[in-house]
Structure 1
Amino acid sequence: MKKRALLFFTILMVSVTLTYAQQRQITGKVTGADGSPIPFATVQIKGTTSGTTSDQEGNFKLTVTGANPVLTIRSVGYATIDYTVGAAAAFTVKLNEEDKNLQEVVVTALGITRKKNELAYSAQTVQAEELNRTRDPNVVNSLSGKVAGLEVRRNSTMGGSTNIVLRGNKSFQNSNQALFVVDGVPIDNSVANTTDQATGRGGFDYGNAASDINADDIANVSVLKGAAAAALYGSRAANGVIMITTKKGRQGMGVTVNTGLTVGTMDKSTFPKYQKQYGAGYYDEEDNTYQSPDGRFWYADIDGDGTRDLVVPMKEDASFGAKFDPNLMVFNYQSLDPASPYYKKARPWVAGAHDPSYFYKNTLTTNNSVAVDGGNDKGNFKLGYTKTVENGMIPNARLVKDMVNFGASYKLSNKLTASASVNMSKIDGKGRYGTGYDEYNVNQAFRQWWQMNIDMKDQEEDYKRNRLNKSWNLTSPTNPIPTYTDNFYFMRNENYERDGRIRYFGNITLNYQINSWLSVLGRSSMDTYDQWQEERNAVGSKNPSSYSRYDGSFAENNYDLILNVDKQLNTQFKLTGLVGGNIRRTHAKYIRASTNGGLVVPNLYSLSNSKNPILAPEEADSLMQVNGVFASAGLGYKNMLFLDLSARRDESSTLPAGKNSYYYPAASLGFTFSEVVKAPWLTYGKVRVNYAEVGNSAPAQALYDPYDKPTGFGSTPIFSVPSVKRNSDLKPERTKAFETGAEIALFDNRVSFDVTYYVSKSIDQILRLPVSRATGYDQMFVNAGTIQNKGVEVSLGVTPVKLKDFSWTMNINWSLNRSKVLDLPQGVDFIQLSATALQSGVTVGHAMGQAYGVIRGKDFVYDKATGKPIVENREGQAVLPGYYQISSSSNEVIGNYTPKWIGGITNTLRYKGLSLGFLIDIKKGGDTYSLDQAYGQSTGIYEESVRLNDKGVSIREDVSKGGGIIFDGVTPDGKPNEQRVRVSGTRGLGVNGFPNKAYIYDAGYVKLREVSLTYSLPGSWINNLKAFKGIDLSLLGRNLWIIHKNVPYADPEENLSAGNIQGYQSGVYPTYRNFGFNVRFRF
Structure 2
Amino acid sequence: MHACYPGPRIPDVPNLPPPTAMLRSLVLPHVRAVVTALVVAAAASATMLQAQVATAPPPTTARRARITGVVTDLASKAPIFGANVTILGTPLTGTTGADGRFVIVSAPPGIFTIEAKRVGFAPQRVENVRLVADSVMTLSFAMNISATRLDQVTVSGTIDETSVAKATITVEKLTMEDLPVPPTASAASMLAGKVAGLAITRPSGAPGSGVNIVMRTPISGITEGGAVPSPLFVVDGIFLNQGQSITTQDIESLDIESIEVIKGAAAASLYGSRAAAGVIAITTKRGKGLALGSTQFQLRGESGIDQYQVTLDKNQHHQFMQDPQGNWLNATGQTVPREQRALKPLGIMDAPYTSPTYNQAALFYQPGSYNTQTATVQGNSAATNFNVAYTRTINPGVLENNEGYKRQSIRVNLDSRLSEKLSVGISANHTRGVQDVSAPSFNNFYRIDTDVNLRAKAPFPQFGFPYVIVPDSVTLYTNPLYTQFIADNVVRRARTLINVNGVYRPFSWLSMAADGNYDRGDLNQVSYTARGTPLVTSSGGLSPSTGSLYIANNITDGYILTGTATATKQFGALTARLSERAEARREYNPSLNTTGTDFATEGLKAMAQARTKNSSQSITDYRVMGIITTLGLSYADKYIGDFLWRREGNSLFGSANRWNTFGRASVAWLLTEENWFPFTSFNNFKLRYSFGVTGVSPNFSNQYEAMSSDGSGAIRRSSLGNVNITPTFTQESELGLDLSWNSRLSVSLTYVKNSSKDVFVNIPAPAVSGYQIVVTNPARLGGTVYEATVQGAILTNPRGLQWTMLLVADHSDLSTGRFGRTCFADGLQHKCDGIRLTEMWGNQIVRDKADLPARHINSLSQFDVNDEGFVVPVGIGNTWRDGIGKSLWGSTVIVDGVSYGWGLPLPRYDANGQLTYAKIGDSNPGLKYGFNNNFRYGNFRLYVQAAGQFGGNVYANSNQTFYASGDHPNVDQYGKPDELKKSVRYYNAVSNNNNLYLANFVESGAHVAISELLLGYTFEAKQYPFLTKIGVGRMQVDLMGRNLATFTRYSGLNVMAGSPTVRFDDATYPLTRTFTSVITLTF
Partners of 1:698 and 1:73 lie apart in 2 by: 45
Change (3 A) 1:536 1:1031: same
Partners of 1:646 and 1:51 lie apart in 2 by: 34
Q: Which residue of 1 aligns with 2:1054?
A: 1051
Q: Which residue of 1 aligns with 2:903?
A: 882
Residue 314 of structure 2 aligns to a residue in which SS?
coil
Partners of 2:778 and 2:605 lie apart in 1 by: 46
Q: C-alpha displacement at 1:126, in angstroms?
A: 1.1
Q: Is the 8 A contact 2:644 2:665 kept in 1?
A: yes
Question: What amino acid does structure 2 have at the position aligned with 1:426?
Answer: R
The yes-or-no answer on 1:935 pairing with 2:961 is yes
Q: Which residue of 2 aligns with 1:1028?
A: 1032
Q: Is the 8 A contact 2:349 2:972 kept in 1?
A: no
Question: What amino acid does structure 1 have at the position aligned with 2:923?
Answer: Y
Residue 129 of structure 1 aligns to a residue in which SS?
coil
Q: Is the 8 A contact 1:573 1:638 kept in 2?
A: yes
Q: C-alpha displacement at 1:682, in angstroms?
A: 1.7
Question: What amino acid does structure 2 have at the position aligned with 1:1029?
Answer: G
Q: C-alpha displacement at 1:963, in angstroms?
A: 4.7
Change (3 A) 1:261 1:847: farther
The yes-or-no answer on 1:726 pairing with 2:753 is no
Structure 1-normalised TM-score?
A: 0.78
Change (3 A) 1:38 1:514: same
Q: Which residue of 1 aligns with 2:48?
A: none
Q: Which residue of 2 aligns with 1:256?
A: 298
The yes-or-no answer on 1:444 pairing with 2:438 is no
Of stretches 863-872 and 679-688 in structure 1, the one that deviates more from structure 2 is 863-872
Q: Which residue of 2 aligns with 1:295?
A: 331
Partners of 1:892 and 1:721 lie apart in 2 by: 36
Q: Which residue of 2 aligns with 1:589?
A: 590
Change (3 A) 1:284 1:775: farther
Residue 808 of structure 2 aligns to a residue in which SS?
strand
The yes-or-no answer on 1:144 pairing with 2:192 is yes
Partners of 2:635 and 2:91 lie apart in 1 by: 38
Partners of 2:468 and 2:178 lie apart in 1 by: 49
Question: What amino acid does structure 1 have at the position aligned with 2:444?
Answer: A
Q: Which residue of 2 aligns with 1:863?
A: 848
Partners of 2:1034 and 2:81 lie apart in 1 by: 9
Picking from 165, 177, 181, the partner of 2:214 is: 165
Residue 784 of structure 1 aligns to a residue in which SS?
strand
Q: Which residue of 2 aligns with 1:496?
A: 488
Change (3 A) 1:1018 1:474: closer
Question: What amino acid does structure 2 have at the position aligned with 1:97?
Answer: M
Q: C-alpha displacement at 1:38, in angstroms?
A: 8.2
Residue 229 of structure 1 aligns to a residue in which SS?
helix
Partners of 1:59 and 1:1022 lie apart in 2 by: 25
Q: Is the 8 A contact 1:43 1:53 kept in 2?
A: yes
Q: Is the 8 A contact 1:368 1:388 kept in 2?
A: yes
Change (3 A) 1:408 1:111: farther
Q: C-alpha displacement at 1:689, in angstroms?
A: 0.5
Q: C-alpha displacement at 1:53, in angstroms?
A: 10
Change (3 A) 1:190 1:891: farther
Change (3 A) 1:174 1:1008: closer
Q: How does 1:580-729 map to 2 (within 5 A)?
A: 580-596=581-597, 598-610=598-610, 612-615=611-614, 617-676=615-674, 677-712=677-712, 718=713, 720-729=715-724
Q: Deviations over 1:26-54 (max 9, x none)?
A: xxx99735548888835899999999999
Change (3 A) 1:53 1:502: farther
Change (3 A) 1:461 1:408: farther
* Residue-pair matches, total: 913
Change (3 A) 1:886 1:37: farther
Q: Is the 8 A contact 1:121 1:228 kept in 2?
A: yes
Change (3 A) 1:525 1:1082: same
Picking from 954, 964, 970, the partner of 1:944 is: 970
Q: How does 1:61-100 map to 2 (within 5 A)?
A: 75=118, 76-77=121-122, 96-97=142-143
The yes-or-no answer on 1:397 pairing with 2:402 is yes
Q: Which residue of 2 aligns with 1:105?
A: 153
Q: C-alpha displacement at 1:1064, in angstroms?
A: 1.7
Gaps of 5+ in 1: 1-28, 63-71, 82-92, 193-207, 286-290, 300-307, 327-348, 435-439, 477-482, 713-717, 833-841, 954-961, 966-980
Partners of 1:688 and 1:467 lie apart in 2 by: 66
Partners of 2:156 and 2:479 lie apart in 1 by: 54
Q: C-alpha displacement at 1:1061, in angstroms?
A: 7.0
Q: Is the 8 A contact 2:841 2:917 kept in 1?
A: yes
Q: C-alpha displacement at 1:314, in angstroms?
A: 9.3
Q: Which residue of 2 aligns with 1:421?
A: 427
Picking from 464, 467, 471, the partner of 2:465 is: 467
Q: How does 1:261-340 map to 2 (within 5 A)?
A: 261-267=303-309, 270-278=310-318, 294-295=330-331, 309-313=336-340
Partners of 1:273 and 1:465 lie apart in 2 by: 32
Change (3 A) 1:569 1:721: farther
Partners of 1:400 and 1:102 lie apart in 2 by: 38
Q: C-alpha displacement at 1:948, in angstroms?
A: 5.8
The yes-or-no answer on 1:359 pairing with 2:364 is yes
Picking from 1000, 1003, 1006, the partner of 1:1004 is: 1006
Change (3 A) 1:48 1:1020: farther
Question: What amino acid does structure 1 have at the position aligned with 2:848?
Answer: D
Residue 96 of structure 1 aligns to a residue in which SS?
strand
Question: What amino acid does structure 2 have at the position aligned with 1:407?
Answer: N
Partners of 2:690 and 2:416 lie apart in 1 by: 38
Partners of 1:862 and 1:650 lie apart in 2 by: 56
Q: Is the 8 A contact 2:963 2:987 kept in 1?
A: no
Residue 1054 of structure 1 aligns to a residue in which SS?
coil
Change (3 A) 1:176 1:926: farther
Q: Is the 8 A contact 2:1012 2:1044 kept in 1?
A: yes
Q: Is the 8 A contact 2:241 2:587 kept in 1?
A: no
Q: C-alpha displacement at 1:433, in angstroms?
A: 2.4
The yes-or-no answer on 1:784 pairing with 2:832 is no
Change (3 A) 1:1009 1:1047: same
Structure 2-normalised TM-score?
A: 0.78
Residue 1017 of structure 1 aligns to a residue in which SS?
strand
Partners of 2:392 and 2:382 lie apart in 1 by: 32
Partners of 1:264 and 1:764 lie apart in 2 by: 46
Partners of 1:102 and 1:997 lie apart in 2 by: 45
Of stretches 1061-1070 and 370-379 in structure 1, the one that deviates more from structure 2 is 1061-1070
Picking from 517, 520, 530, the partner of 2:522 is: 530
Partners of 1:189 and 1:1077 lie apart in 2 by: 34
Q: C-alpha displacement at 1:132, in angstroms?
A: 3.9
Partners of 2:332 and 2:239 lie apart in 1 by: 63
Change (3 A) 1:608 1:102: closer
> Aligned-pair RMSD on alpha carbons?
3.7
Q: How does 1:216-227 map to 2 (within 5 A)?
A: 216-227=254-265
Change (3 A) 1:613 1:948: closer
Q: Which residue of 1 aligns with 2:64?
A: none
Q: C-alpha displacement at 1:995, in angstroms?
A: 6.6
Q: C-alpha displacement at 1:622, in angstroms?
A: 0.6
Q: C-alpha displacement at 1:895, in angstroms?
A: 2.2
Change (3 A) 1:351 1:42: same
The yes-or-no answer on 1:913 pairing with 2:915 is no
Q: Deviations over 1:334-389 (max 9, x none)?
A: xxxxxxxxxxxxxxx42433423321011211111011111321122111101101
Change (3 A) 1:850 1:357: farther
Q: C-alpha displacement at 1:565, in angstroms?
A: 2.6
Partners of 2:658 and 2:956 lie apart in 1 by: 44
Q: C-alpha displacement at 1:466, in angstroms?
A: 3.7
Question: What amino acid does structure 1 have at the position aligned with 2:247?
Answer: A
Partners of 2:840 and 2:942 lie apart in 1 by: 41
Q: C-alpha displacement at 1:321, in angstroms?
A: 8.9
Q: C-alpha displacement at 1:505, in angstroms?
A: 0.8
Question: What amino acid does structure 2 have at the position aligned with 1:861?
Answer: V
Partners of 1:231 and 1:48 lie apart in 2 by: 30
Q: C-alpha displacement at 1:858, in angstroms?
A: 2.2
